[in-house]
Amino acid sequence: MIGTNWSGNIAYRAAELQSPRSVAEVVDLVRAAPAVKALGSRHCFNDIADTAGVAVSVAELPREIRVDEERRVVRAPAGLRYGDISPELDAAGWALPNLASLPHISLAGAIATGTHGSGDAVPSLAASVAGVEIVTADGDVRMQRRGDADFAGTVVSLGALGVVTAVEIDIVPRYEIAQTVFDGLPLASALEHYDEITAVGYSVSMFTTWRDPDVIDQVWVKRRADEPGALPGDLFGARPAAGKRHPLPGVDPLFCTEQGGARGPWYARLPHFKLEFTPSNGDELQSEYLLPRAHAVAAIERVRALAPDLAPLVQVCELRTVAADDLWLSPAAGAATTGIHFTWVPDQPAVEAFLPRLEAALEPFGARPHWGKLFDVAAARERVPDLYPRWRDFAALRERWDPRGVFRNDFLARLGL
């Protein structure tokens, strides 16, 4: 056994974990093993990265980060964490357009599952990918770049196509962010002024425990230093927090990135949590559903109706926005998107018993589950061909690239891949 995922709710079945130190070693390993799965920073809450064969970590590949200023991309080994690459980019005068709430996640793992941050004009982390280097089932090393025929199917790939060894990511000139937290936004105001609130900063997140179903407890606004105008002192009824906040009630905010309007580098403000501390709460489970932004208000109202049964199970719920992309299996593909994220108490049977109710409430809005979090996979199998117009194209791509099923696992099988 090779241990568990980050939250401890998944015990991996793989008999061994290999950490090759070169792409050539990855090739040899893939050619020799009948079943392989790449394992990243273990921040998934389901068995998407599990295998009955050999688990492969690419975290030991040579740590070579190369900036191509002409193409405005950075090439980095796939096993690096976003928190590892970001300070080096900043020192060179460059930045990434977006980061997730945790800087502790690996590049390839975050990209493969469609992980994202927040922002009306900010797409998912995968949408910034300009190229992926993949070791496929036959041991070939393939480089897919934006514009190639299959590129849009190879980025958010659920680990189904091979072991990603390197990625090329779009970069922009470095920038600074100031983060301000507001307390006590009336839910009625949040729904009436949803578009105005999410547009008040480069990245905006709303947090609620649903214990008071008529209040959004906190609004985290991350504004670029070069954004015009000033942040309002009153945000539709919410007031600036009197001190530093953590999204989870009662948790020490020392772990969170700096607030109070203090400017700092993009990589030290866009995440909610600092790299040097344990991310989020640790003792938790997570789910997230992403749906077209046009349905955001109606979907939030559906969730609010579940508040009496939801509140005892959820530690905090986060509302975010994501710009559209064109990647085949991205939960933000095709439309501007709202994400409704749930950090659950660590009671998996109770959470899994509740998920069908939650998913039924969100189904009319075309809600897509986050690939790396808890959801009803059996029910999703029936919905994914309608939720993802390129689903069958991806299934055909997987069959072409991996006819032996080297990278197939129980998770993919349950989805019909």
Question: Confidence band (pLDDT; 50, 70, 90) for 277?
Answer: confident
Torsion of CA 375, 365, 129, 158, to 10 degrees: 30
For residue 377, give the H/E element and its range. Answer: helix 377-387
pLDDT at 389 over 70: yes
Cα gap 323→336, rounded to integer Å: 5
Task: List pLDDT tens digits, range 210-254.
Answer: 999 999 999 999 999 999 888 999 999 999 999 999 998 888 899
Mean pLDDT, the chain, whole residue set: 96
Give the pLDDT confidence score for residue 279 in this predicted structure: 59
Residue among 303, 312, 21, 67 at smallest CA distance from 173: 67
DSSP letter for 85, please. Answer: H
Contacts of 69 (CB under 8 A, 6+ apart): none
Encoded tokens for 124: 């998912």
Residue 371 has pLDDT above 80, yes or no: yes
3-state secondary structure of 162: coil
- pLDDT tens-digit map of 185-204: 999 999 999 999 999 999 99
Give the integer Cα–Cα distance in Å for 412 and 417.
5
Would the pTM count as exceeding 0.85?
A: yes
Can you name the residues that pair with 333 across neighbouring β-strands?
A: 325
Other C-beta atoms closer than 10 Å to the C-beta of 384 total: 20
Alpha-carbon gap, residue 307 to 60, rounded angstroms? 45
**CB-based contacts of 71, cutoff 8 Å, min separation 6:** 130
* Alpha carbons 3 and 41: distance in angstroms, whole number: 12
Which ranges constitute the DSSP H helices of 155-269? Answer: 187-192, 194-198
Query: What tens digit of pLDDT does each residue of 311-368 get?
Result: 999 999 999 999 999 999 999 999 999 999 999 999 999 999 999 999 999 999 999 9
pLDDT digits (tens, 9 = 90+) for 46-91: 999 999 999 999 999 999 999 999 999 999 999 999 999 999 999 9
Q: In this predicted structure, what is the pLDDT of residue 282?
A: 60
- Amino acid (one-letter) located at 73: V
Q: Distance between CA atoms of 107 and 164, rounded to whole angstroms? A: 10
Which pLDDT band, with edges at 50, 70 and 90, does 1 fall under?
confident
% of the chain with per-residue pLDDT over 70 = 99
**Dihedrals φ, ψ of 47, to 5°?**
-95, 30
Radius of gyration (Cα) for the chain, nearest Å?
20
pLDDT value for 291: 98
Q: What is the mean pLDDT of residues 134-142?
A: 97
List pLDDT tens digits, range 156-181. Answer: 999 999 999 999 999 999 999 999 99
Close Cβ partners of 362 (under 8 Å, ≥ 6 residues apart): 289, 291, 299, 302, 303, 340
The owner of tokens 């849009």 is: 152
Tokens of 177: 């962010």
Amino acid at residue number 246: H
Q: Is the pLDDT of residue 280 over 70?
A: no
Cβ 204 vs Cβ 222: under 8 Å? yes
The larger pLDDT score, comparing residue 48 to residue 102, is at 48
Q: What's the first-to-final CA gap in the chain, in angstroms?
A: 26
Which residue is it, tokens 């790299």?
Answer: 275
